[in-house]
Structure 1
Amino acid sequence: MEPEKLLSLLDSVKNGEVSPEDALLRLKMEPFEDIGYAKVDHHRSLRHGIPEVIYGAGKTPEQIAGIITALKNHGNTNILVTRLTPEKADELHKLIAVDYDPVSRVAIHGRKFEAATKGYIAVVAAGTSDLPVSEEAAVTAEAFGNKVERLYDVGVAGLHRLLSRLDVLMTAKVVIAVAGMEGALATVVGGLVSCPVIAVPTSVGYGANFGGLSALLSMLNSCAGNVSVVNIDNGFGAGYLASLINHIGESER
């Protein structure tokens, strides 16, 4: 919103012509910044509590740097870029400073991790092959102000590994369960905890796994009532949703 229009709106609120609630609604509905190849939504954090995140796949390093710059100029920190290859991350870093994690494939500009909640998110991964998706979820959640506890390589083929960390599971505010193959981990975790469980099927598995479809269907058919499911390999979506849940009731949200 242009300064003149914003001042006019604020004057209307001051004079009692517009209610604060209506003014907030107008601000939430304000448009984006058009930079040609992208329309950057600067009011995403006002509506969602979380600023816009850049999906890196399919964008050039120059386009990503331009979007980061637009977000930075509006005071955003912890600007996330997901699904970056190491090669594209190297090219991006030549244009603008980013911290890149090759495991999660997430780059962050203006990195500033501060846990803003009392509760924590537990990210549970069935196997080492699930680490890229698990770390995408964990890094996303941390960037959005959450403490994260990682429990990796605790799949149902060796259930004692998971059961040895029940203290971490049972005191989490929300659990992200990441698994490929048959995806049984989510139901097992759901049966052990009282908090919400976000299941993430991965494309890890042999032929009958159908690129994660078998794990997805298993998780959708879970008999544990506290399990919900995001898309195949969608660690970012799981971390985002877990952050929203973990922040419920926190005064800063």
Structure 2
Amino acid sequence: MGESDPRVSDLGFARVDLDRAARTGDPEVVYGAGKTPEQIVAILGELHTAHPDRAVLATRVSQEAAEAALTALPGVAHDPLARALTLGPLPDPAGAVLVVAAGTSDGPVAAEAALTARVHGAGAEIVTDVGVAGLHRLLAVRERLEAADALVVVAGMEGALPSVVAGLVGVPMIAVPTSVGYGASFGGLAALLAMLNSCAPGVTVVNIDNGYGAGVAAARIARRSR
């Protein structure tokens, strides 16, 4: 595809994929880490121009970039906990995603997953602070787990929560290890390995702190279920 290809917008520093929504059902998303505020604003604005009827998303956005976008792009919304920006209307939700977070410290990753699921066309809610150290808290929300079309289960430390959830309900589930934990958690590696080695069937695992990837997968499952 050359510079004149209508499926690509060449901004000089980035080639924006305008055809992704037609191929996959979802527009390209801006990964903000490592990009300047000006680059994030330019790419997000270009995506919004191409997809004015639905929200476009930028993840891992710094406070400086968020402030630049709020100034330059009318209608942009900033979710500081998720560290993300959206521009344009959220789609009507199809299907229900429930994001389950072990602890409050997992909140940024859980918020990223929930916002991503909403941008990608699913309804999403968050249940937090239901880690295995207080199992009664998880059991108290079992009906909500069963009612969801897809689950995103977020946990750091020893990463045990997805195994427990998968032993309680048969809902499609994406497990997200987080980098929360003390030294021997190795920045989330212990949780990642625990989730990959789960003895409960049906546990699908994404990379450490990848709330975005989990949110996309869960939204697609939820959309298809409806």
Q: TM-score, normalised by structure 1?
A: 0.83
Aligned position for 2:67: 90
Aligned position for 1:169: 145
Aligned-pair identity in percent equals 52
Aligned residues: 221
Larger radius of gyration: 1
Matches within 5 A, 1:33-44: 33-44=9-20
Q: What's the secondary structure of 2:207's corresponding residue?
A: coil
Which runs of 5 or more residues in structure 1 are unaligned?
2-28
Q: Does the 8 Å contact 1:99/1:111 carry over to 2?
A: no
Aligned position for 1:189: 165
- Partners of 1:103 and 1:162 in 2: CA distance: 23
Task: Please tell me the root mean square deviation across aligned C-alpha atoms, in Å.
Answer: 1.6
Aligned position for 2:50: 74
Q: Can you list the C-alpha shifts for 1:197-246, whole angstroms capped at 9, x where unaligned?
A: 10000000000000000000000000111100000000000000101111
Where does structure 1 differ by over 6 angstroms across 4 or more consecutive aligned residues? none
- How far residue 30 of structure 1 moved from its aligned partner, in angstroms, is 7.0
Q: Does the 8 Å contact 1:62/1:95 carry over to 2?
A: no
Counterpart of 1:37 in structure 2: which amino acid? F
2:38 is the alignment partner of 1:56? no
Aligned position for 2:107: 131
2:108 is the alignment partner of 1:108? no
Q: What's the secondary structure of 1:233's corresponding residue?
A: coil
Counterpart of 2:129 in structure 1: which amino acid? D
Aligned position for 2:192: 216
Which runs of 5 or more residues in structure 2 are unaligned?
none
- Partners of 2:36 and 2:67 in 1: CA distance: 12
Q: Can you list the C-alpha shifts for 1:8-56, whole angstroms capped at 9, x where unaligned?
A: xxxxxxxxxxxxxxxxxxxxx9741211111110110011100000001
Q: TM-score, normalised by structure 2?
A: 0.93
Q: Can you list the C-alpha shifts for 1:153-200, whole angstroms capped at 9, x where unaligned?
A: 000000000000111001211110000000000000011111211000
